Amino acid sequence: MNKQLLKTTLALTIGFSTLGMTQATFQPITVEAATTNVQNNDQAVAAKAEQLIQTGKSLIGKATYSNTEYKPTYPYKFSCASFLMYIFEKNGVDLATYNENYMIQQGTAVAKNQLQKGDLLFFKSKTTGTDPDHVGMYIGDNKIIHMADSKQNIVISDLSSKPYYTQNYVGARRVLPTLLSANPATKGDTIVQNAYTYKNKVTISSTNSEQNLRFTAPGFVEYVYRKSGVQLGTTNLKEQMNLGTTVSRANLKKGDLVFFGSSKGSKTPSLVGIYMGDHRIMVPNSDGIITRVLMVDYYNERYITAKRVTSVNSTPPVSSSTAAADKIVTTATGLMGKAKFGYSYDEKSLTFTSAGFTYYVYKQHGIDLKDKLASRQALVGTAVQKTQLQKGDLLLFSTNNGGKQITQTGIYIGGNQYISMTSNNVVKQSINSTWAKQNYVSARRVIK
Q: Does 3 score more than 50 pLDDT?
A: no
pLDDT digits over 398-418, tens only?
988 666 789 999 999 998 999
Report the predicted TM-score, pTM, of the whole model to 2 decimal places: 0.64
pLDDT digits (tens, 9 = 90+) for 328-355: 999 999 999 999 999 999 999 999 999 9
Q: Tell me, what's the pLDDT at 16?
A: 32
- What topology does CATH give the domain 187-308? endopeptidase fold (from Nostoc punctiforme) (3.90.1720)
Which sequence spans correspond to the domains of the chain?
Answer: 3-179, 187-308, 322-445
Question: Per residue in 60-90, pLDDT tens?
Answer: 999 999 999 999 999 999 999 999 999 999 9
In Å, how far are 21, 40, 66, 262 from 137, measured between CA atoms? 22, 22, 18, 37
Q: Tell me what the mean pLDDT of segment 299-306 comes to.
A: 96
Higher pLDDT, 215 or 183: 215
CATH architecture label of 3-179: Alpha-Beta Complex (3.90)
Contact indicator for 101, 20 with CB cutoff of 8 Å = no
Over the chain, what is the mean pLDDT?
88
Tell me: the pLDDT tens digits for 100-123? Answer: 999 999 999 999 999 999 999 999
Give 129's pLDDT tier (boundaries 50, 70, 90): confident
DSSP assigned state of 346: B
What amino acid is encoded at 266 in this protein?
S
| Domain 322-445 bears CATH identifier 3.90.1720.10 | yes
For residue 394, what pLDDT is reported?
A: 97
Q: What is the pLDDT of residue 26?
A: 38
